[in-house]
Amino acid sequence: MSLILTHIAEGIGSITLNYQIKRNALAAAMVDEIATALADFTQQGVRVAILRAEPGARVWSAGHDVDELPENGVDPLGWQDPLRTLIRAIEAFPAPVIALIEGSVWGGACELVFACDLIVATPGASFAATPAKLGVPYNASGLLTFLNVAPAHIARELLFTAKPMTATRLERLGIINHVIAAEELEAFTHDLARAIVQNSPLVVSVMKEQLRILAGAQALSPQDFERLQGLRRVVYRSRDYREGIRAFREKRKPTYLGE
């Protein structure tokens, strides 16, 4: 069974997450299908991509597949990790990606949505960034995604509390482009996509890549980089990291000891 559905019309390519049995968790298999779809969209000259869950979804995506998080002291969000690979695929896709959000968005799926070029959502959609809740040491480029879209205090509130924030609040903060009633969301999103499709695809594509490079332009000394990685290693080798994953699997609240 395919974990996504795809459709192309009028230069607009749609990818629909279709893995509700695991609440659209971003499993490696699903990420591979999305990457294949994006490559096909590039081949077909798609000028805008829309990334969505099935209409009316209660959960847009439950984030990283927890069953694929390593417990043996290995970096859980290394370069080859499915979530990291997916974020880079969205950023590298040579046309704008619009995230169409209904339902709740969790963990790494928040970063996935924030890495898209535009976000439209229903008023009831929510976003919960969960590294602190699961004991996961988020990675530097992932934290930069949050800092590039959210004011620092909002990024900290999202990440430190791990509590859901509504699309309505995030729109007020300029993090979400439009909050639209569910019954109008699809038509609104396609109108937005058509407005982009009618412009020069070369200019739009080049500006997307220029903006990606500029957004990632952060001076970081080798010493700072090593400090960042060392801090993360302390976490993913900790008892708390293993406790977070086990508690999720055992469907119980984790007990964190700070070690």
> Counting contacts by CB under 6 A, is residue 131 touching ligand YXS?
yes
Chain CA centroid to CA 6, Å = 18
Q: Which of 15, 17, 19, 23 binds ligand YXS (CB under 6 A)?
A: 23
- The answer to whether 93 and 51 have CB atoms below 8 angstroms apart is no
> Counting contacts by CB under 6 A, is residue 71 touching ligand YXS?
no
> Counting contacts by CB under 6 A, is residue 64 touching ligand YXS?
yes
Residues 205-244 that bind ligand YXS (CB under 6 A): none
Smallest Cα–Cα separation from 61: which of 131, 161, 129?
129
- 49 or 86: whose CB is closer to ligand YXS? 86
Q: Which of 122, 130, 145, 238 binds ligand YXS (CB under 6 A)?
A: 130
- 23 or 190: whose CB is closer to ligand YXS? 23
* 163 torsion bin: left (phi>0), alpha (psi -120 to 50), beta (else): beta
Q: Count residues contacting ligand YXS (CB under 6 A)?
A: 19
Smallest Cα–Cα separation from 116: which of 211, 245, 201, 181?
211
Q: Which of 59, 101, 116, 175 binds ligand YXS (CB under 6 A)?
A: 59
Query: Where do we find the tokens 């709740």?
Result: 104
Binding segment toward ligand YXS, per CB under 6 A, in 7-15, 128-136, 196-204, 205-213 = 128-136
| Burial class (CB within 10 angstroms; exposed 0-12, middle 13-18, buried 19+) of 147 | middle
User: How far from each other are the two terminal CA atoms of the chain, in whole angstroms?
Assistant: 41
Residues labelled as active-site residues: 64, 108, 138
Q: What is the DSSP letter of 50?
A: E
Which of helix, strand or coil describes residue 159? helix
> Counting contacts by CB under 6 A, is residue 25 touching ligand YXS?
yes
Min separation Cβ 195 and ligand YXS, Å: 32
d(CA 84, CA 78): 7
> Counting contacts by CB under 6 A, is residue 67 touching ligand YXS?
yes
d(CA 147, CA 158): 11
Residues 88-127 that bind ligand YXS (CB under 6 A): 106-108
Residues that bind ligand YXS (CB under 6 A): 22-23, 25, 59, 62-67, 106-108, 129-131, 134, 136, 138
